[in-house]
Amino acid sequence: MTDKVWGGRFQKGPEEILDRFNASLPFDKRLYAQDIEGSMAHCRMLGKQSIITEEEASLILRGLSEIRQEMDAGTFRFEGSFEDIHSLVEKALVARIGPAGEKLHTGRSRNDQVALDTRMYMKEAMGRIDSLLLEMQKTLVQRAEGEIEVIMPGYTHLQRAQPVLLSHHLLAYYEMVKRDRERLQENLRRVNVLPLGSAALAGSTFDLDREMVARELGFDRISENSMDAVSDRDFVAEFLFASSLLMVHMSRLSEEIVIWSSQEFGFAALPDELCTGSSIMPQKKNPDIPELVRGKTGRVFGHLMAMLTTLKGLPLTYNKDLQEDKEGLFDTIDTIEQCLTATTRLLQSIRFNREAMRRGVEQGYLAATDLADYLARKGVPFRQAHEKVGRMVLLASEKGKELRDLTLEEMKDFSGLIEKDVYEWLDPYHCVQRRDLPGGTGPVAVRKQLQKAKEELGV
C-alpha cells in the first residue's frame, strides 16, 4: 500500500523515477485557487444534498479556507511527493481536520476536477487578456485621432503603393484586435461549461446538484456528456489558436515598428527607455520589444501544434497525455499578457516622423492609380487607362521625374483627354481626400471609423 490517493490497489509504492516523471505539481500548483474554490462549491453541494453532514461540510470548508489563506500569503509549504495540486490540497485538508477531509472527494474524480480547474483558470485569464486588448484598442484609437492629418505611403509587396492616412493604417490594427476579442469571447462561451459531476468518465451514483455548483462557480451551463466532459480539451486548443492569431497580428505590428524605426525608413522613433543598446557598437538603439514579440510568436504557435498533436490520437476518455495541456496553456497566457502590456506601452510613446512620411508619399509614383481613374472618368476603359499610365511612369522614370513633374504636353502624348486639371489628381493629399467612401482612407471616412470605434469602446 502507498500513501497515494489511489494506493489501495498497489502492494508497492512507486519508484522515484515515476514520481518525478508523473508529477504535475511543479506547474499545476498555480491552479490552487481554482482547485480550492471548486472544492468548496462541491462541498457545499454535498452538504445541501445530505451526502455529507452539515457539520462535516462546515469543517471541510473551514479547513479549505485556511489552506487558501496560507497559499495566498505564500506561507504554505509545497512539500512531499504529491502528484498534483488536487492530491496536495486533499492531503493537507485531511492532515488539518482529520477523517472528514476524506469525504470531500465523494462524487468526483481528479478527471472532472482538473477539467474544472483548467476552465476556471482560463475564464480568469481570458478576462485579464480582454482587458489588455481593450487597452490596446483605446491606445490605437487615441494615436489615430492624434495623427488624423498625417499622410504616409501605403504598401503592397513592401513597395510604395498609394497614399494613406497614418490614422487609417493604425485603425487597421484596431480591427484586427477587435476580431481577436470576438474570438476570445466566442471561445469563452465554450470554456464556460461545468464538467464537475462527470466523475472519472461515467457520472456519479450520488444525487449531485450540478446546476447548483454551476451557479456558485459562475458557469453558464453544465456539460451534457460525462465522457466528453473529462476528455474535452477543444476549448484549450481553441484558445491556443485564438492566441496564435492574436500573436500573428502583434507580430505584424511589431515588424512594421521595426521597419519604421530603421534609418532607412525613419517613419518612427522609439523612446530610449523602451530600447536597448549594443555591447560593442555605441551608436545602436535596438527595438527589443517588437523584436521579442515577433520572436515569442513562434512559441505560441508551438504550443498550439503540441496541443493538437497530443489530442489527435487519444481514445475516450481521460488519458495521462492530457496532463500535457497545461504548461503550454500557462506559458501562452503569460506570453500574451507580457506582449500586450509591452506593445501597448510602446504604442503610447512612439513618435511618428511626419516629415519623413510626407517625403515618402511624394516619391514613387503613388498617384498613378488616381491618374488611371482620371482617364477612366473621361471615358477611357480602365484597362487602357492603366496601360497608358504605366507607359507614363516608364517615361517619368527614364527622365528621373515624378508623374507630377511631367509637362502637360508630355502627358498629352499618351492621351489627348488629359487637361491642366490633371495636376490636382497627382497631388498625394488630394489622392487621400478622394477616398471618402465607407472604409476608405479619406479624412471624412477615417473620422467616421474613429467615431464608430469610440462608440464600440464606450469612450
Please give the torsion angle defined by the CA atoms of residues 453, 455, 456 and 459, in that order, rounded to the nearest 10 degrees: 90
Look up residue 98 and give its three cell numbers: 482529520
Burial label, 87 (beta-carbon count in 10 A; 0-12, 13-18, 19+): buried
- Measured in whole angstroms, how far is the alpha carbon of residue 292 from the centre of its chain? 15
Asked whether 233 and 323 are in contact (CB, 8 A), the reply is no
* Angstrom distance (rounded) from CA 101 to CA 93: 6
pLDDT value for 7? 63
Q: Which of 157, 168, 169, 262 is catalytic?
A: 157
- Tens of pLDDT, residue by residue over 10-65, are 777 777 787 787 789 999 999 999 999 999 999 999 999 999 999 999 999 999 99
Q: Enumerate the domain spans of the chain.
A: 7-106, 111-353, 360-457
Second-level CATH architecture of 360-457: Orthogonal Bundle (1.10)
Catalytic, 278? Answer yes
**Band of the pLDDT at 1, cuts 50, 70, 90?**
very low
Q: Is the pLDDT of residue 445 over 60?
A: yes
Q: pTM score, two decimals?
A: 0.94
User: 148-152, long-range: CB within 8 Å, 24+ apart, which pairs?
Assistant: 148/443, 148/446, 148/447, 148/450, 149/443, 150/352, 150/354, 150/357, 151/357, 151/358, 151/361, 151/428, 151/429, 151/432, 152/267, 152/357, 152/360, 152/361
pLDDT value for 227? 98
Q: Which residues contact 440 (CB under 8 A, 6 or more apart)?
A: 168, 446
Q: Which of 65, 278, 349, 397 is catalytic?
A: 278
Please give the CATH topology (third level) of the domain spanning 7-106.
Fumarase C; Chain B, domain 1 (1.10.275)
Look up residue 86 and give its three cell numbers: 488536487
| Percent of the chain topping pLDDT 90 | 94
Of all helices (H) and strands (E), which one includes residue 228?
helix 226-231
Q: Are strands 268-269 and 351-352 parallel, antiparallel or unpaired?
A: antiparallel
Catalytic, 279? Answer no
- Side-chain half-sphere CA neighbours of 420 within 13 A: 0
* Angstrom distance (rounded) from CA 437 to CA 363: 25
Q: What is the DSSP letter of 286?
A: B
* Angstrom distance (rounded) from CA 51 to CA 355: 75
Lowest mean pLDDT among 8-22, 38-52, 204-218, 315-329: 8-22
| Percent of the chain topping pLDDT 70 | 98
Please give the CATH topology (third level) of the domain spanning 111-353.
Fumarase C; Chain A, domain 2 (1.20.200)
